[in-house]
Every structure is written in structure tokens, then in C-alpha cells.
Amino acid sequence: MTITILGIRHHGVGSATHVLQRLQEIQPDMIMIEGPPEITDVLKYVGHEGLVPPVSIMVYDQSEPKTSVFYPFSSFSPEWVAAEYANKNGLALRALDMPAAVNLQMKSDVITQVKVSSEQEEPDKNESDSPDADMFIQIAEAMEKRDPIYQLARHSGFENGEKWWDYHFERVHNHADAMTHFEAVHHSMSALREDNKEPNTDNDLREAYMRTYIRQARNEMYENIVVICGAWHGPALTDLDKYDKQDAKTIKSAPKTKIKVVATWIPWTNHRLSMYSGYGAGLSSPGWYQHLWESADDYDVTWLVKVAQTFRSKQMDISSAHVIETSRLAHTLAALRNKSTITLDELNEATLAVMCMGDEVKLQYINQELTVADRIGSVPDDIPKVPIQEDFEKTIKTLRLPLLPHDKQYDLDLRKDGDLQRSILLHRLELLDIPWGKRTSVRTKGTFKESWVLHWKPEIIVGLIDKSYLGNTIEQAAVSLVQEESSKTTHINVLSELIVKVIPAELFDLVQPLLDKIHGLSAISADIVDLMKAIPSLVEIGRYGNVRNTDTTLVITVVRNLLTRVFIGLPNACYGLDETHSEQMFSLISKVNESIKLIEDSDQSVEWYKTLWFIAHKDGIHPLIIGCVSRLLLDAGQFTDEEAETSMSLALSTANPPMDVAYWLEGFLSGSGMILLYDARLWNLLYKWVESLDTETFQEQLPFLRRSFSKFEYGERRQIGEKAKKGIIDTPKQNTDISTENFDHQRAASVFPILRILMGNKSM
Amino acid sequence: MNNNILSQHAEVVYAQELEELKKQDSGHIPAMWNMSPQSVVLYLMGGKLKNGFEISPKYIGSRRLMEIAVATLTTDRALLLYGLPGTAKSWVSEHLAAAISGNSSLLIQGTAGTGEEAIRYGWNYAKLLAEGPSEGALVTTPLMKGMKDGKLVRIEELTRISADVQDTLITVLSEKTMPIPELNMEVQAVRGFNVIATANNRDKGVNELSAALKRRFNTVILPVPETAAEEADIVKRRVSSLSKNLELPAEIPALIEIQRVVKIFRELRSGVTEDGKIKIKSPSSTMSTAEAISVVNNGMALSAHFGNGVMNAHDIAAGLVGAIVKDPVQDKVVWKEYLETVVKPREDWKDIYRACKEIAL
């Protein structure tokens, strides 16, 4: 009976080469690789045709899928190579490590402890509620901390542990004997462990489990066992019997757990592999390792040829002579540094000097496309998955939306059924907060176009599995999510946003209940601001929603209801607001005004303008709002000339505090100065007002005036400036009815045909 | 050695270091080189020899870049040092030539007026008329000499030479031969010959290299110093070596004064204060390390000849303003803004603020 321990580095190419060599020499009947025993079952899929690395095993808590652990593999990972070998030769294959259930239990214990203590100190801070991306980083950091090779590297003058290990143990093409290689690894790790005897309960527990599992396999009468584990653990696993009793005790001390864990395969990306720099040392360059794994002794030349091809595809002129020169420089650099093999450093530096004219920016292409080489793995259909994940994969297959590790833009034409279905799926995912697609602005006009940018990341699957409790399909999950959220909220605004999201997701059954709820809430709500926020989006649906064949009359009814309440409550809501709230009200009034124009309902607009008129003449309202409503009324033709002049001169009269006038102007001009250019009355009033200010007041007001004028277009400002040079404009009682005595109608009409062509036929 | 020379060649100033390096050298020495590539890198970056002899650093910055430069020269590609004015391009090229060939004097200065005869060869017209075309009537150039003797040739400011003249280098660099059709002969380069060219990417009106010529060069871009500490170190070393050259009697200025100059230069160059809190405008001048060095030197000269021998804010101010305000209209505004918004509020910078204010622009 023999047990052979092979110490490796996770994702080490050299380790992988040597593992394969050793396996062929030893011919074992049982292979054990590092990893929680719960993944043993899914390991049998390694080597399956459809399972293409980079992939990862996701081990998660069934009742709370967000707490999960990942075991990523690339095709050059030693564990992957070993598992593939075992499956191909029909050997027994097991994982050995601390059970994931125990691991997750320990983690959640820590989290609850943190939660409890932070709640005691600062009740507002909820730090443990971190988003998905953080989860990955946390794992990486934790792994970096326990990398002991850093110490060894520091002793021998290497920059970091990766480089040390790389230089000594990961040279693929050094043709060292595999057996001596593993002996060397074993010796250096033993020496390190001697030096580093700090108690590490986590590690001790893991190694106790590992030894226990090996003993178990031995007792099952396996004759020739090979154990593949992180090099650090190697020395701890050789003397099994010495620790027999101690291990039983250690394992007893582990926390008791009732967590049920599930393991499954999910697609992974090279980019994500490279983020695990702490765990998978050297993985800042998965593409490079992949290249090393796949190529023979001439790896440097083949790499440079790939580099040249990449540059050529970017329209850079690179000749074969460049490749030759780069290779020579790389060799010389390696010689200069007394290195026996060329590493990526030398190749990159030579590429920089020869092909890129020293320009680092160009080297970035190589980093993105070759060194990291973003690939995405795939997982076949016959591996058991969560129902919602299966539904998702089936849907994207029928809709032909591939998972890609980089941005890809889709311009969807909603008049086509296929595109419409895609849009529906993406909207549903958005509802579920699964960030696969991002809406981007469409270049063409028309509501039937949508533009999405899709970018696949592994945490999307995690998000999906996390939502699995909501239902077995994407549709069901979206429906339950909306129901859950709508039952929780009392804000009309939130409900209207949900409606806006629900309609493009084509969950029409939800619209009626949501509208009912809005209806009910609006009756009791006293919050006018909330009502006003909801109106614009609802009006938009009512107006444009029919692209998706939705019944929008319902929406319009609700909007009318809301509007009535706004008409009544708005004047009071405007009363006595401070500056910041006035600004908010100012923008809300403008938005609702747009919506009123969209509805094209004369009764509603009459009511609206009445309300505005009332506000304009009410005391105690911030001049910013008064300015704004005056402008809206003027634009809508609700002011007679006299009324307009009165209100303007009232607002601009010198007796008003200059500050108020400045606010009024800001509201009135609302970002456009055109009115100053064509309305001589307003111009003269403003001119006189400015003139009336003494130097000190003028300087005080300057910042406020500047604020409203700076929002104008450059052309407008210039014209205003020119106009100001001329001073007051004589208004010979602006005669709008210009005398028509000598007007030649026929002659004037002769320009119409040309005008019609110029302006486009349809518009006239 | 003539002690009155204003600026000695590197191989003279650092003769002892070069000698020690040669003695200790154990690496493989390329043909016609004075020492192994490893020793050249050591000479540039500084360090300690086995016998304890200290080599002073010539280039302060990335070792990687120097390795690429030296490795390039061992291949048959020429080296192009590229970068902003004042990033030690010429300095590195001089030291490379001194260490590798023991001779940094084979130099062609590129200008808009540099003609073919300055690069390939010219004729001694009196002799040409008297004897007809003959080797005796030929006027050799540093390039031709370097080819014959197997030495490194330096071409300064390559991009200022007009494009058609630049291209005469192509044959020399690719075929390593220089034909002389008038005499029906050619000069073939001996091992050890290579070219180090420098070019800057800031000046207007430079002649971009042709693609054919570019392909003959490996390019190393020399960056501006990464950290303030690194830059202060460069200025201090250069100033002390220059004052040796120029026999300036003033004391080597305190590091604190140098740090101040470097700080001003860095902030103006990057357009933001060191703490990243205040945004400032950058002047039209390049604000290179070389200029910082000359400001400190200038200040030392002033304090030595007109002051008390210890450099103070007043001595620096004149040089500082001169280095920064190159454009009398724009830069003046930039400098004044910087003085008022950044220099003035700094408690311990009061002296320099006052000194600069005194210099009427």
C-alpha cells in the first residue's frame, strides 16, 4: 500500500505537467484532490465533452445561495488534469478537505458576530450587507493572507511568492524529472513549516480532515493512493498514524452544522481567474499560462507570432523581421539577467521596445487579448442545475443570446418577435436585479428600438441561483419579486416605477393590481411630491405604451386621478419652501407641465393652468417657483400682454430684495435666454432693473445672475451681450399688425415651393 | 588630463569606476566591448563591487529600462532613447557609450541644418580639386569613424534632422556598410559598432521617423521620475557633480531646498498639487528634471558669487521664474496663480513667496 503526496500550486502549469507525468508513472487506483468532500459527486463531470474550462464548482447553502464558495478550474489546473486523468481511466476520484458545510457554518458565525457587535456600536451601519463583487475580493484577500510562500520568497530576494515559485517550480519546459520535482517541493515546504509554527486553527482543522479522509480511503483497501493538494499541506499529510487520535479530537471541536450544501458547475471567465491573484498565484496572466500549457518548447516564438497577429488585426504594421528582432532581444535580456528560460517579462519588454516604439498603451492590447485572454467556459445541459438556471439557459439558447465575457451590443427592433422576446427577457432580468444587460441610448428615433449592451460575469449565475426561491422560471420569479415589493411599499412613486418596469417585461397581469394599489394609496396620501414624481412615467406609458399592445386606458384613468389631487394640493405644497426644496419643486412642476402637454386633454390643461395662475398670485411662495410658473403661463399663452407686463414689472421692480429678483429670473429663464432676445419689454425691464442696482448690490447679485445665465447656449449669451451694448430698446408700441397695404401676396407665395423642399415635404 | 575643461567626458570623470568594473568583470564580454552587459547595467544603476568598491548610480529610475537598452546594443539593432526634454536621454547615451566603447565623443548633433555630409562623409574641396576623388580628400564623420573602429556613435536629436537626411542612416543600420560611390568603395562596419540616437517628443516641428528607419531602432521611452523623492535625489546628485565640474564654491544646498524646487516643478508639470487638493494650470515649458537641476545650479552660483555662500530662497527665485515663465503672457498668469493659491498659503514657504514676488515680471 502506498500513498503519494503531490504538492502543487493551484493553477500552476508546471505543477500540472508534473502531476500528469507522475500519475502515468505511479498508475494509482485512487486519486484524491483538494476540495470539500461535497464536490466529489460533481467531479465525475470533469472530462465531459460539454464542460469546457474555465469553469468553477459553486458550493452553496441551499437555504441561502448567496453564501457560497467557489473552486475555479482552468484547463491547466493540476486538479483538473488529475480529475480528467482519473475519469478517463475509470479510477476512483475523491475530494478531501474540510466539508463545505462546516466552512460555511464558520463563516456565518463570524458574520453574525460582526453583525451583533456592529449593531451594538453603530446601529445604522450595516456593513455585512455587501454586494456580490465584494464577495470575490474578500475570498482573494483571505487567501493572500495565508500564503506562506511569501516569506520564503522574501528570504531569497524575490519580489513576491508567485515569482519565486514560478522560477523554481513552474517552468514547464525544463524537463526536470517529476519525482525530483515533487521531492524538492516537499522539502522546501517542510522547511517552511518548521519555521512557521504559529498555530493556525483553520489550517489545522483542514489538515485533520484531509488526514481522516486519506485514512478512510486506506481502510477501504485502496492500494495505490495519490493525493494532490496545495504544496503547503503536503508535509502534514505524510505521517497519518501519528495524528490519529489528535485528529478525532480536532474534528470534534469543529462547529456543528445543519447547513445543507449543494455543489454545481458554473461557467467561469479568465478575467475572474486572474482576480484570484492570492489563491492561484501567477494568475494575473491566465492567457499566458494557457499558451505555456498548450505549446511545445518553442513557446517564446509561438507567443511572439500571436503578438504580431494581434497587432496586425489592430492595423499596426508588424513584419516577420519585427518578430525575429523581438525574439532576439528577449533572449538577450534573459541572458543579461542570468535566467535560463525566457519569461513573460522579457517577452513583454522586448515587444515594447521593438514593436511598440516604447509605447505602453499599445502593449495593453496584448494584455487584454493574449495575456488575460478573456475566455468563458461552458457547462453542458445534463449537469443538474437549479430550475431557474435551467430555464434561463433554455431561454437564452432559443433567443440566441450567447454568454460572452466582453461587451456586446444588441440593437433590438421590437416590431420583430425575436427581438421583442429578447427585450422581454432582459427587462425581466433587470427587474430581478441580475445585471447582465445594460440599456444604452438608441441612435435612431422611435419607440420600437432598444439598445442593450451585454457583458457576462460569473456572479450573474450566483444572482440567478440566489433568486431561485422566487420561482422556477424567470417569469415566475419576476412576478413574485414585483408582488413582494409592491406589498412592502407605501410610496406611489415606487409603484409607478414598478409599472414602468413591468410593462416592457410584459408581466401584464401585474399592471391592474399595481394601478389599484396606486389608486388606493393616492386617496390617502398627502404627499404631493410623491404624486408628482409618479406622473411623468405613468403618462409616458399611457402615451407610448401601445408599442407593446398594452391597454393603456387604465393608466390614463389613474393619471387623471393623480392630477386632480395635484391640482388641489400643489399651491399649498409650494408654500413656504426653502431654496433646496423650491428647486426640487421647480423641476417637478416643469416635468408635470410636460406631461400635461403630452396628455392633450383640454379639461386637464385648463385646470393645470388655473393652478399655476393661482400659485403665481399667491403670497409666501419662493420667487424661483413664481418665476417658473410665470414662464409656463406665458409660454402657454395664458397671460394677456398686460398681465404679462404687470407680473414682470412687479417681479423686477427695484423695491424687491435683489436676491428675490435673481431667483425669479432663474426660474423664469429656466435655462434658455431666447426670450430675452425677442421680448423687448422684458429686456427693457431687466435692463432698467440692473441699472438701478448700486455697485455693491450688483456685485452681491452677480453670482446668482451668473448661475442662471451660465446655463444658456454660447450663442445666446453672445447675442445677449451684444444686445446689452445697445442698451434700452425703443419699442414703438410693437406693432404686431404690420400694415398690409403694399403687400404683394402673389410674389410672397412664389417662395413656398422652395421652402417646402427645404423643410421636407411631409412637414408642410 | 586638462583640468580646465568645462565639462569632461563621462569616460574621464568616471575613469576609476570603469577601470574597477573591468577588473571585476566575470561575465561574457561581447566583441569589441569594454565590459560585459551586466557590468554596463551595474555602471548605470550603481551598486557595490565584490571588492567593496562603490559604483555611483548614473541613471535613477527603472532598472528594466536600462537592461532593455543594453540588451539592444548587443543585438544589431540600434537604440532610440525617446522622451520629454530633460529626461536624461543624452546623459544615458553618453554613459552607455563611455562604458561600452570607452569613448563617448563620437557625436553627431542633429539640427534642422544637419546635412548628409555631416552623417556620411564630406569632401575637402581643396584636395578634391587638386588630386581628384581620393580617400585623402574624404572628410570622415563620427559615424564613419565609429564604423571603422567598432565603437558606439551617438546621434543627438535625431528627429530634428530633415527626413531625407535621416534616411541615409537606413543602409548603415541595416547593411552595416556605407558605400562611397565616388571612389567605388565602401566602409564596412566592424563589430562593436552601433548607434544610440536620442529624440524628444515635445518639440514642435520635429521630423517623424520614416517607418523604414523606425524598424531599425528599438525604442526605450525614458519617463519623468516616478516619485518626488526619486526626483530630489536626481537633482541632488547632478548638482553636486556639476558643481565639481564648475568649481562652484557654495555649499551643496540642503536637501530641503532641492525638495522645494522639485515640488514646484512636479506640481506645475502635473497640474495638481501634491496632496491632490488644488488644481493648477501647467505652463508651456516642459518643467523637466534637467531644468530643476539648472535652477538649483543657478541658485548656487548666485549665492556663491553674490550671497553668503548658502543657497536661500532669493537665490533660487530668479532661476525658478526664468525656468517656468517661458511665454511672457500665458505662463505669467500660470505662475502668478500658482504663487498666490499654492505657495502663499504654505506656512514654511513664506521666504520663497516673498522672493518670487520681488522679481517683477
Per-residue pLDDT of A303-340, as tens digits, reads 999 999 999 988 888 888 889 989 999 999 888 887 77
Q: Do B75 and A328 touch (CB under 8 A)?
A: yes
pLDDT tens-place string over residues B145-178: 999 999 999 999 998 899 889 989 998 998 999 9
Q: Is B75 on the interface with A (CB under 8 A)?
A: yes
A127 by DSSP, 3-state: which?
coil
Nearest CA in chain A to B174: A321
Mean pLDDT of A649-676: 76
Q: Is B218 on the interface with A (CB under 8 A)?
A: yes
pLDDT tens-place string over residues A595-653: 888 877 778 888 888 888 888 877 778 888 888 888 888 778 777 767 777 777 777 76
Residues in chain B within 8 Å Cβ distance of A359 = 221
Nearest CA in chain B to A337: B38
pLDDT at position A351: 92
Looking up cell 391640482 gives A567
Split at pLDDT 50, 70, 90, the class of B351 is: confident
Q: Which of B62, B65, B72 to mutate to test the interface with A (most CBs of A within 10 A)?
A: B72
Residues in chain A within 8 Å Cβ distance of B37 = 332, 335-336
Sequence-distant (6+) residues with CB within 8 A of B187 are: B144, B147, B148, B177, B178, B180
Residue B136 clears pLDDT 80, i.e. is over it: yes
Residues of A within an 8 Å Cβ radius of B: 317, 319, 321-322, 325, 328-329, 332-333, 335-338, 349-350, 352-354, 356-360
Residue A126 clears pLDDT 60, i.e. is over it: no
State the burial class of residue A133 (Cβ atoms within 10 Å of its Cβ: 0-12, 13-18, 19+).
Answer: exposed
Higher pLDDT, B307 or A262: A262
**Min Cα separation A322/chain B (Å):** 7
Residue A115 clears pLDDT 80, i.e. is over it: no
A572 C-beta neighbours (distance < 10 Å), count:
12
Mean pLDDT of A177-203: 79
Residues in chain B within 8 Å Cβ distance of A354 = 77, 218-219
Split at pLDDT 50, 70, 90, the class of B190 is: very high
pLDDT at position A135: 43
Which among B37, B70, B218 is the nearest to A354, CB-wise? B218
Residue A14 clears pLDDT 70, i.e. is over it: yes
Nearest-10 Cα torsion for B326, B329, B333, B335: 20
pLDDT tens-place string over residues A72-101: 888 888 889 999 999 999 888 998 888 888
From residue A92, alpha-carbon distances to A27, A95, A103, A224, A574 in Å are 12, 10, 25, 11, 77
How many CB pairs below 8 Å do chains A and B form together?
Answer: 56
pLDDT tens-place string over residues A237-282: 888 888 888 888 888 888 888 788 888 888 887 777 765 433 334 4
pLDDT tens-place string over residues A420-449: 888 888 888 888 888 888 888 766 666 678
Residue A299 clears pLDDT 90, i.e. is over it: no
Mean pLDDT of A41-47: 88
Q: Is B64 on the interface with A (CB under 8 A)?
A: yes
Q: Do B221 and A321 touch (CB under 8 A)?
A: no
Sequence-distant (6+) residues with CB within 8 A of A103 are: A36, A69
pLDDT at position A404: 83
Q: Are strands A437-440 and A261-267 parallel, antiparallel or unpaired?
A: unpaired
Higher pLDDT, A558 or B170: B170
pLDDT tens-place string over residues A239-248: 888 888 888 8
Q: Do A349 and B41 touch (CB under 8 A)?
A: no
**Min Cα separation A350/chain B (Å):** 7
Higher pLDDT, A139 or B232: B232
Q: Do B219 and A353 touch (CB under 8 A)?
A: yes
Residue B191 clears pLDDT 80, i.e. is over it: yes
**Min Cα separation A159/chain B (Å):** 14
Q: Which of B221, B222, B226 to mutate to test the interface with A (most CBs of A within 10 A)?
A: B221
Higher pLDDT, A542 or A307: A307
pLDDT at position A470: 79
Nearest CA in chain A to B74: A332
Q: Do B218 and A321 touch (CB under 8 A)?
A: no
CA A215 – CA A221 distance, rounded (Å): 10
CA B33 – CA B55 distance, rounded (Å): 19
User: A209 near A97, Cβ under 8 Å?
Assistant: yes
Q: Do B71 and A332 touch (CB under 8 A)?
A: yes
Split at pLDDT 50, 70, 90, the class of A731 is: low
**Min Cα separation B156/chain A (Å):** 18
Q: Do A357 and B37 touch (CB under 8 A)?
A: no
Nearest CA in chain A to B81: A358
Residues in chain B within 8 Å Cβ distance of A353 = 68, 72, 218-220
Q: Are strands A30-34 and A92-96 parallel, antiparallel or unpaired?
A: parallel
CA A441 – CA A467 distance, rounded (Å): 28
Cis before A54? omega within 30: yes
| DSSP letters for B207-255 | -PPPHHHHTTEEEEEEPPPSSHHHHHHHHHHHHHHHHHHHT--SPPPPH
The distance in angstroms from the start CA to the end CA of chain B is 44
Residue B217 clears pLDDT 70, i.e. is over it: yes
Split at pLDDT 50, 70, 90, the class of A178 is: confident
pLDDT at position A131: 37
ipTM: 0.72
